[in-house]
Chain A
Amino acid sequence: MIPRELNSQRLETIGYDTCVTSCGNFLVLDQEVVDNRCTISGLRVVPLKEAFSVFPDMRERLYFNLIRRDMNELTALASREDPVGYYVYVEPGVKIEEPLQAAFLFGMTGTTQKIHNIIELGDGSELNIVNGCTTLNTGDSGTHLGITETYVGKDAHLGYTMLHNWGDTMEVYPVGAVQVAENGRYISNYVAMTSVKKIVSCPVAKVLSGGSARFYSIIYAREGSFFDTGSKVVLEGEGSSGEILSRVVSEGGTVISRQMLTGCVPKTRGHMECSGLLLNDHGVIHSIPEIRGEHPDISLSHEAAVGRISDEELSYLRMRGLTEEQSRSLIIRGFLDIKIEGLPDKVKNLVNDVIERSVSGTL
Chain B
Amino acid sequence: MNVLQIQNLHVAVEGKEIIKGVDFELDQGKTAVMFGPNGSGKSTLLGAIAGLPGYEITRGSIWYKGRDLRSLSIDERARLGIGMSFQYPPAIKGVRLSTLLNVLSQDAQTMLTNAEDLNMSEYLDRDINVGFSGGERKRSEILQLMIQEPDLMLLDEPESGVDIENISIIAAALKTILEKDKPIKKRMRSAIIITHTGYILDYINADIAYVIMDGHLLGCGTPGEIFEEIRAHGYKQCCECFAEKYQNIQTGDI
Is B87 part of the contact surface with A, judged by Cβ < 8 Å?
no
Q: Known contacts being A311-B53, A315-B53, A334-B127, is A320 close to B78, with CB within 8 Å?
A: yes
Taken residue by residue from 66 to 91, chain B's Cβ proximity to chain A (1 for < 8 Å, 0 otherwise) reads as 00000001110011000110100110
User: Whole-angstrom distance between the alpha carbons of A326 and B94 in the complex?
Assistant: 15
Q: Is B83 in contact with A330, judged by CB distance below 8 angstroms?
A: no
Please name the 3 residue pairs, one residue from A and one from B, whose CB atoms are nearest each other, closest first.
A334-B94, A334-B95, A321-B78
Residues of chain B within 8 A of A323, CB atoms compared: 75
Is B175 part of the contact surface with A, judged by Cβ < 8 Å?
no
Q: Is A316 in contact with B93, judged by CB distance below 8 angstroms?
A: no
Q: Which of B90, B95, B99, B104 contacts A321 (CB 8 A)?
A: B104
Residues of chain A within 8 A of B53, CB atoms compared: 311, 315
Q: Known contacts being A310-B90, A331-B95, A335-B94, is A317 close to B100, with CB within 8 Å?
A: yes
Is B241 part of the contact surface with A, judged by Cβ < 8 Å?
no
Q: Is A319 in contact with B74, judged by CB distance below 8 angstroms?
A: yes
Starting from the known contacts A310-B90, A320-B148, A334-B127, 11 additional A-B residue pairs (CB-CB under 8 Å) come to A311-B53, A313-B90, A318-B78, A319-B52, A319-B75, A319-B78, A319-B86, A331-B92, A331-B94, A333-B94, A334-B96
Q: Known contacts being A311-B53, A319-B52, A330-B103, is A324 close to B94, with CB within 8 Å?
A: no
Q: Known contacts being A311-B53, A334-B127, is A320 close to B100, with CB within 8 Å?
A: yes
Residues of chain A within 8 A of B86, CB atoms compared: 316, 319
Q: Known contacts being A330-B100, A330-B103, A334-B127, is A318 close to B75, with CB within 8 Å?
A: yes
Q: Is A313 in contact with B92, judged by CB distance below 8 angstroms?
A: yes
Residues of chain A within 8 A of B94, CB atoms compared: 331, 333-337
Is A322 part of the contact surface with B, judged by Cβ < 8 Å?
yes
**A-facing residues in B35-60 (Cβ within 8 Å):** 50, 52-53
**A324 and chain B: residue at smallest CB distance:** B75
Shortest Cβ gap from A363 to chain B (Å) = 19
Is A312 part of the contact surface with B, judged by Cβ < 8 Å?
yes
Q: Which of A315, A318, A327, A330 contacts B99 (CB 8 A)?
A: A330
**Interface range for B:** 20 to 34
Main secondary structure of the interface of B (DSSP, over half): mixed
Shortest Cβ gap from B104 to chain A (Å) = 6
User: Whole-angstrom distance between the alpha carbons of A335 and B93 in the complex?
Assistant: 7
Residues of chain A within 8 A of B195, CB atoms compared: none
Residues of chain B within 8 A of A320, CB atoms compared: 78, 83, 100, 103-104, 144, 148
**B89 and chain A: residue at smallest CB distance:** A316
- Measured CB to CB, the residues of A under 8 A from B are 310-313, 315-324, 326-327, 330-331, 333-337
Residues of chain A within 8 A of B74, CB atoms compared: 315, 318-319
Q: Is A322 in contact with B127, judged by CB distance below 8 angstroms?
A: no
Shortest Cβ gap from B153 to chain A (Å) = 11
Taken residue by residue from 145 to 179, chain B's Cβ proximity to chain A (1 for < 8 Å, 0 otherwise) reads as 00010000000000000000000000000000000
Residues of chain B within 8 A of A330, CB atoms compared: 95, 99-100, 103
Residues of chain B within 8 A of A327, CB atoms compared: 75
Q: Is A334 in contact with B78, judged by CB distance below 8 angstroms?
A: no
Residues of chain B within 8 A of A316, CB atoms compared: 86, 89-90, 92
Residues of chain A within 8 A of B89, CB atoms compared: 316
Q: Is B50 in contact with A319, judged by CB distance below 8 angstroms?
A: yes
Q: Is A333 in contact with B95, judged by CB distance below 8 angstroms?
A: yes
Q: Known contacts being A311-B53, A330-B103, A334-B127, is A319 close to B83, with CB within 8 Å?
A: yes
Shortest Cβ gap from A46 to chain B (Å) = 40
Q: Is A334 in contact with B104, judged by CB distance below 8 angstroms?
A: no
Residues of chain A within 8 A of B127, CB atoms compared: 334
Taken residue by residue from 101 to 128, chain B's Cβ proximity to chain A (1 for < 8 Å, 0 otherwise) reads as 0011000000000000000000000010
User: Whole-angstrom distance between the alpha carbons of A312 and B90 in the complex?
Assistant: 7
Shortest Cβ gap from B42 to chain A (Å) = 17
**B154 and chain A: residue at smallest CB distance:** A319
**A338 and chain B: residue at smallest CB distance:** B94
Shortest Cβ gap from A276 to chain B (Å) = 14
Q: Known contacts being A315-B53, A316-B90, is A322 close to B95, with CB within 8 Å?
A: no
User: Whole-angstrom distance between the alpha carbons of A123 and B8 in the complex?
Assistant: 78
User: Whole-angstrom distance between the alpha carbons of A323 and B78 in the complex?
Assistant: 10
User: Whole-angstrom distance between the alpha carbons of A267 and B90 in the complex?
Assistant: 38
Q: Is B103 in contact with A322, judged by CB distance below 8 angstroms?
A: yes
User: Whole-angstrom distance between the alpha carbons of A313 and B144 in the complex?
Assistant: 15
Shortest Cβ gap from B129 to chain A (Å) = 9
Shortest Cβ gap from A179 to chain B (Å) = 33
Q: Which of B52, B75, B90, B96 contacts A322 (CB 8 A)?
A: B75
Selected A-B contacts with CB under 8 Å, 17 pairs: A313-B90, A315-B74, A317-B92, A318-B73, A318-B74, A318-B75, A319-B50, A319-B78, A321-B75, A321-B104, A326-B103, A327-B75, A330-B95, A330-B99, A334-B94, A334-B96, A336-B94
